[in-house]
């Protein structure tokens, strides 16, 4: 279960910015909330549909509305770094605080009755390998963990085309936002992430509105409901984070 990060105290402006980045990290993409909920069983739903693997297949009666397509969900690997595991949540949170004070942003996930502290999350293996080298300097037992998202083929009708278009859009957003998180962690540029998320939320909503009332494929029906729920959650959480950021800024100002 995903837990919200806490820190003991914001001692400087830079640390305040890092704290804000911690808040923003959990809003980066719908993928993040899905992954942490399913990290043990690896039943991860990711709308990673390749735009160049669709193949048209004419039906017997040559009815254009009944043209079927095969949309292939690519196999995909997601990487993160496990720093340490604990038997209880308080111990994991204490270690997480220590990690934050060392300038490493992380998160806690429950797995097989253990609480594991992770940092980093990306589709790019080289990125996480480079990050691991730095982390191992202080935490030598850290290791890379990967989650494989199995590929799958879907038979879709023409009326489902917009669903495929939206999943392609969201896939692009996932990769973009995760890459931004990696880059902006060190630069403390949370404002750029916030602006990008607002823009992406609008794009996702516009694309979802194009869905037809009837989606024929069961997998896509399930995917549609997940996408809609996650974009709603993104908007709510982003607003909550802005309120938290203002609270942090207010406390910091009073402490000066």
Single pTM value for the model: 0.46
The angle subtended at Cα 31 by Cα 232 and Cα 51, nearest 5°, is: 100
Q: Are the CB atoms for 188 and 25 separated by under 8 Å?
A: no
List CB contacts of 157: < 8 A, sequence separation 6 or more.
Answer: 65, 66, 67, 68, 69, 216, 217
Q: Are the CB atoms for 177 and 143 separated by under 8 Å?
A: no
- From first to last of the 256 residues of the chain, give the pLDDT tens digit: 333 333 333 333 344 333 333 333 333 333 333 333 333 223 223 333 333 333 333 333 443 344 344 444 445 677 888 888 899 888 888 888 788 777 777 777 777 788 888 887 777 788 888 888 888 988 999 998 877 655 555 555 555 566 666 666 766 776 676 666 655 554 445 567 677 778 888 887 777 776 655 566 666 666 667 677 767 777 776 676 656 555 544 544 444 3
Domain range summary for the chain, segments of one domain joined by +: 155-255
């Amino acid at each position: 279960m995903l837990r919200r990060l806490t820190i003991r105290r914001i001692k400087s402006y830079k640390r305040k910015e890092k704290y804000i980045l911690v808040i923003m990290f959990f809003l980066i993409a719908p993928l993040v909330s899905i992954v942490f909920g399913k990290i043990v069983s690896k039943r991860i739903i990711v709308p990673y549909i390749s735009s160049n693997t669709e193949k048209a297949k004419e039906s017997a009666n040559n009815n254009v509305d009944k043209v079927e397509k095969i949309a292939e969900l690519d196999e995909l690997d997601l990487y993160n770094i496990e720093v340490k595991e604990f038997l209880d949540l308080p111990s994991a949170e204490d270690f997480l605080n220590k990690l934050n004070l060392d300038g490493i942003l992380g998160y806690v996930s429950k797995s097989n009755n253990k609480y594991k502290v992770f940092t980093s999350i990306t589709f790019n293996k080289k990125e996480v390998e480079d990050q691991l080298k730095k982390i191992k300097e202080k935490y030598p037992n850290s290791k890379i963990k990967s989650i494989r998202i199995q590929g799958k083929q879907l038979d879709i009708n023409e009326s489902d085309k917009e669903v495929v278009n939206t999943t392609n859009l969201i896939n692009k957003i996932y990769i973009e936002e995760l890459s931004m998180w990696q880059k902006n962690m060190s630069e403390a540029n949370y404002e750029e992430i916030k602006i990008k998320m607002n823009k992406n939320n609008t794009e996702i909503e516009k694309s979802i509105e194009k869905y037809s009332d009837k989606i024929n494929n069961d997998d896509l029906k399930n995917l549609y409901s997940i996408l809609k729920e996650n974009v709603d959650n993104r908007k709510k959480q982003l607003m909550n984070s802005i309120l938290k950021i203002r609270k942090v800024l207010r406390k910091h100002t009073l402490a000066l």
